[in-house]
Structure 1
């Protein structure tokens, strides 16, 4: 069921991504970034559909991703790229508005939501998404901002191929897409977790078993109750918060929990 749910999400948002391209961006020659943007350029300049170019250009990058990110991720990415490509084949290219700026904004938002969920469910749309994810495994860089930086090269290409007005619309679109991706894909956000509990050993074991995180355990003493407590401290990713809250509640419903966003983590932290 978990695998079916994952592929259902990837399938739906891959189709939505193709819809955003064909209905909002391509009709006004507003591009998205990276390899997808290059596929759009080639699709506009040649009789071959942009969806076909999307597959062709992604082949070498997906091979690199297979080696660096993993088999499951690449298989999910291939599924997503293929679904988006098929969607772009069958969804007609038509403009819902004559305003290129509105199309750039709404196309960027829809594309950002779609890409964010595809990445969140361990897939990608290929291209610079794969490169960005490889780089974020080493450093806690916001993925949307990194993709925006990598994709900016498409702005200059579209400026020379088409016009600089369209290039600026493209810049606005991929900037909005990057912001929305970071709102959906939040793995780079780290949280400091402190738990005061009377069931320290049991909770520590459950957290280590389910999170694969190092935990610092300190002795605590209640200032009002004079009761002995254990204080557990660790750093988790934003994605792990839901399972952590569930574990703590199941082990010790009366535990005191403090969660705060961490600006930076230095040292041995499992990022993948």
Structure 2
């Protein structure tokens, strides 16, 4: 049921994106950020629909992401891109209002709502989100900074191709989208995850296979029962929380799980690939 619910949420969010693009943003040549914005530029310069360009531009990015990021995340991202692209082929490109400012504001709000719920369902809209995640695996650069920089490039290009007035409307729309996404799901918040389980090896294996995070494993003992348990500790992003819960529940429904917000993270926040060389019960986070 969780999988079907996630797919339903991603489907609804993707349809909302397509509606906002074709009914509010594209008719006024107001662009979205990222790969979607580039697809919009190409669609305005060529007779090819933006939905087609969205698929073509995302294919190499998603293939690379499939190899480097979690398969469930990439599958959900591919599903979101496909639904958005197909919906953009059938939703007519018409103006709901002649006011470009109103279109940029409400278009930004609707895009933010759609993206926010897609992220909560452990997916993405592809494009720059995936590129940013891939880059953060190599360098310790904030994902938000990377995505904002790439989006700014789209705005800069649109200013030269169309007009700087429309470019400013685009920037306003992107800014509003970011605010709405943060209200729905703030991916920058870090969470401390502690799992106490008697199926430590299975839970550890499942998490390592599906997350780009390291895990510290220690031996524990129940004070009342005297049972030997494993204590797994990791720091994850809020972005990954929706994915972590069902993974743990699938392996050990009786596991004790504690999740708390982390004020600051120092050191390597990504998975340490040297963990395979360390002692079995000491995995660096």
TM-score after normalising by structure 2: 0.71
Distance 2:156 2:131 in 1: 20
Q: 1:180 to 1:125 in 2, by over 3 A?
A: same
Shift of 1:159: 0.8
Q: Check conservation: 1:190, 1:235, Cα contact below 8 A.
A: no
- Other-structure match for 2:267: 266
Q: Secondary structure at the match of 1:188?
A: coil
RMSD: 3.7
Q: Structure 1 residue 63 and structure 2 residue 63: aligned? A: yes
| Uncovered stretches (5+) of structure 2, i.e. residues with no partner | 208-214, 221-230, 273-285
Q: Secondary structure at the match of 2:262?
A: strand
Q: Check conservation: 1:116, 1:185, Cα contact below 8 A.
A: yes
Shift of 1:194: 9.3
Q: Structure 1 residue 161 and structure 2 residue 161: aligned? A: yes
Structure 1 residue ranges (4+ consecutive) displaced by more than 6 angstroms after TM superposition: 206-209, 215-218
Distance 1:50 1:164 in 2: 21
Distance 1:207 1:262 in 2: 27
TM-score after normalising by structure 1: 0.74
Distance 2:193 2:69 in 1: 28
**CA offset digits 1:173-223 (Å, max 9, x no partner):** 11222333344343431235799xxxxxxx4658997576437899xxxxx
Distance 2:74 2:36 in 1: 17
Distance 1:113 1:176 in 2: 10
Q: How do 1:56-205 and structure 2 match up within 5 A?
A: 56-137=56-137, 143-192=143-192, 203=196
Distance 1:49 1:158 in 2: 18
Given candidates 210, 213, 216, the residue that maps to 1:214 is 216
Q: Check conservation: 1:144, 1:179, Cα contact below 8 A.
A: no
| Uncovered stretches (5+) of structure 1, i.e. residues with no partner | 196-202, 219-231
Q: Check conservation: 2:235, 2:269, Cα contact below 8 A.
A: no
Q: Secondary structure at the match of 1:264?
A: coil
Greater gyration radius: 1
